[in-house]
Structure 1
Amino acid sequence: MSNVIQLKSAGGFTRMDNDLYEALIGADLSGRELRVALAVHRLTSGYNKDAVKVAALYIAKMMYSDEEKAASERANVSRAINSLIRQRVLFRDGGSRDPITFLPRNEWKIDHKSTVLKTTHCVEKVHATVSKITHIKDINTNLTADAVVAAVASTSEVSESEPEQQGTPEPDQPAQAKADRIPYSRIAEIYNTVCGEKLPKCLKLSTKRKNLIKGCWNLEINGLHPFRKGEFWTAYFTDCLTNKHWTGDNERGWTADIEFLTRQDKVLKVLEAL
């Protein structure tokens, strides 16, 4: 019996522009981002539309047949949509309720990975080349959001962080736990990279700003600490930019800053809206 599946015209077909098809093949997207892009294409070209209004939960249901799984992946799908918008693959003029469509291939700004050297220790030292994650899209998409956040304790983001209290601990005191060391400078750098073109840049980390960042770092949600993952800060600040009022679309021309975005009431407002 042949393994070739015969296509039936009665089943219907979705037409795809050759340039878009080849661009998606060659784009350095994560598995989740590619699936989201294909879902948007199905909902636009598949129904002869240029753009479509679609919720992240609806796309999650297209990706996962299990309702519970789809609900748990909604936030990840929302971040993938925002990531594709930031990389200029998709375009949406407004918030999450506005239509979404593809941009021309020559406008895409796909993120790239960088590599660093890491030394491994066994019987002897061996140099190995590993990939350093530079964006949330590079996380293994087979992991759930909870599994990604649970892996925080072993990440380089924490191990390279700045301790809250300087100095060497006394001999009779235990070493400071990794979870208590907060990479303030790295978090400010992520904010400036993501929000610097639309919001005021963070030029100095005052005591107040460090205390607000510390509050986010120690924020516990369902037994997890999501802000102890560098990629989560990137996704969070990206989500903040979707709020037009915060980016200056108001009567006063007011814009949010790092202090405003790290207030816990604003953090919870963004997270609960996903």
Structure 2
Amino acid sequence: MSNVFQLHASNPGGFTRMDNDLYGALIRADLSGRELRVALAIHRQTAGYNVPSARIAASYIAEMANIHREDVSRIIGELLRQRVIYREGGSKAPIGVSPANEWRIDAKNNRKTTTKKEPQCGVSTTSLVAFPPHNKDTNTSTTSDEVVVDAERQPDASPEKVSRTKQDACPHRAIVDLYHEILAELPGVALINKTRIQHLQSRWREHEAHRDLAFWREYFESVKASNFLMGKVEGRFGTKPFRASFDWLIAPRNFVKVVEGNYNA
């Protein structure tokens, strides 16, 4: 039995049209499974009703995509940052899917292919028996007691540990320098104390995209573009305007708010 059905305007179930270029772009997009589900939910609630954008509650997307409400807010922020979707204003403004040529998606599947190493043993051409290598063919070192030690098993020769340490190392000073360069009008940072180091390290490690100084430059530039965060908006009832600080910007909850544009403006 065929699973292909002809869709007509009188179809009681309805259907959503999708531009072929957009369809192809979504197939090729290096998005995570949850990011793709949220993007499709937004497309369903916009193109499905013949509108370019719409006000869609995160709770509604969570129900459609079967994802927790808190995770949906974070994923929306990631899709906004990667320009897959856009907002027409603040956090409650209409949202829609951006043209594919504007997307700036993070490279996720960047695992390098490596050639498989040949086994260090002699193989007979006339049998399937593998013979152990001769001592001269192994990478060994000798201790003072003339005991042969395999150098490859020494703990200091682990490239995985070296690369992991390098990857997780957060350039605290470079991030602070970017803050001073871009946000010179905000309070300066005189001391990089333990608390600030911990917050920066957490923000650096929590997502692959954050482990790039280009991300932090864009982050601080988005702060500079906000009159509210720069202290240029008068407070309510004549109170002193709010002005962001370095500690406020790197705190977990505030960091997410700024990335998603979900702060009181």
TM-score after normalising by structure 2: 0.55
Match of 1:63 in 2: 65
Cα distance in structure 2, aligned partners of 1:157 and 1:231: 20
Aligned equivalents of 2:103 and 2:209: distance in 1? 23
Q: Post-superposition shift, 1:89?
A: 1.4
Structure 1: tracts of 5 or more residues without a match: 65-69, 125-154, 163-181, 218-225
* Amino acid corresponding to residue 87 of structure 1 in structure 2: Q
Q: CA deviation at 1:40?
A: 0.5
- Summarize the alignment of residues 18-37 of structure 1 with structure 2, pairs less than 5 Å apart: 18-37=20-39
1:109 CA displacement: 1.4
Question: Which residue does the alignment assign to 1:261?
Answer: 249
Which residue pairs with 1:91 in the alignment?
86
> Residue 251 of structure 1 aligns with which residue?
233
Which whole-Å deviations, capped at 9, do the CAs of 1:2-48 have from their partners, x for residues lacking one?
26264662211111122211221121111111111110111001112
8 A Cα contact 1:92 1:100, kept in partner: yes
Structure 1 match to 2:56? 54
Deviations 1:65-107 (A, max 9, x none): xxxxx4xx22222222111111111111333211111222221
Q: CA deviation at 1:61?
A: 0.6
Q: CA deviation at 1:251?
A: 3.2
Based on CA coordinates, which of the two structures has the bigger radius of gyration? 2
RMSD, aligned α-carbons: 5.0
Specify which of 160, 165, 170 is matched with residue 165 of structure 2. Answer: 160
Matches within 5 A, 1:120-135: none
- Tell me the equivalent position of 1:231: 207
* Structure 2 match to 1:4: 3
**Aligned mate of 2:196, from 212, 225, 240:** 212
Contact 1:157–1:183 under 8 Å retained in 2: no
Structure 2 unaligned segments of length 5 or more: list them. 121-159, 235-240
SS at match of 2:12: helix
Matched-pair identity in %: 36
Opposite residue 81 of structure 1, the aligned amino acid is I
From 100, 113, 120, the counterpart of 2:95: 100
- Equivalent residue pairs, number: 203
Letter of the structure 2 residue corresponding to residue 4 of structure 1: N
The residue type paired with residue 61 of structure 1 is E
